[in-house]
């Protein structure tokens, strides 16, 4: 029987240094660089692998990373102050800050420097 380590997911970026600066300095995640790739620490020993594709990178058409927070509106305000622009989706019930409420957990979307969609999503309580 195969024995697996801790599972993780990954996504590509066009520019690793720009991604590192964004995820560490703007978003506030712990980021480690190794062998030209990034490891975004997500807590509880979990991480996401960010790997380079350069000009071949095509942003995914879906959210590649959801960041659970207790208060989405507060997170949006703080990230906006750091220069993050939140996305608007036609037909989605989003408030003035771009937070969608009332269709499941509160959620707001933004993109990283490579165009990948990331969200802050409501997940109150311990172990978010």
Enter the pTM of the model: 0.91
Local structure of 78: helix, strand or coil:
helix
- Tens-digit pLDDT profile for residues 35-82: 999 999 998 889 999 999 999 999 998 999 999 999 999 999 999 999
Quote the percentage of the chain above a pLDDT of 90: 84
Q: Where are the beta strands (DSSP E) in the chain?
A: 9-13, 30-34, 37-43, 46-52, 63-69, 107-111, 117-122
Ranges of each domain in the chain: 9-122
Give the confidence band of 124 by pLDDT, cuts at 50, 70, 90: low
Q: Which residue has the tokens 């750091």?
A: 82
Q: How distant is the alpha carbon of residue 77 from its chain centre?
A: 16
Per CATH, domain 9-122 is 3.40.50.1000: no
Instruction: Go through 54-64 and write b for each residue having 16 or more CB atoms within 10 A of its CB, e for each that does not.
Output: eeebebeeeeb
- Residues 108 and 119: beta-carbon distance below 8 Å: yes
């Amino acid at each position: 029987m195969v024995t697996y380590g801790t599972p993780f997911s990954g996504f590509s970026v066009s520019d690793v240094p720009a991604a590192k600066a964004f995820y560490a300095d703007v978003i506030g995640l712990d980021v480690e660089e190794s062998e030209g790739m990034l490891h975004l620490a997500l807590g509880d020993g979990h991480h996401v692998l960010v790997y380079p594709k350069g000009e071949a990178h095509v942003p995914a058409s879906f959210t590649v990373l959801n960041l659970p927070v207790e208060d989405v509106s507060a997170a949006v305000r703080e990230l906006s102050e750091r220069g993050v622009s939140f996305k608007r989706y036609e037909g989605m019930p989003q408030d003035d800050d771009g937070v969608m409420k009332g269709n499941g957990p509160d959620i707001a979307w933004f993109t990283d420097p490579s165009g990948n969609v990331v969200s802050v999503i409501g997940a109150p309580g311990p172990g978010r």
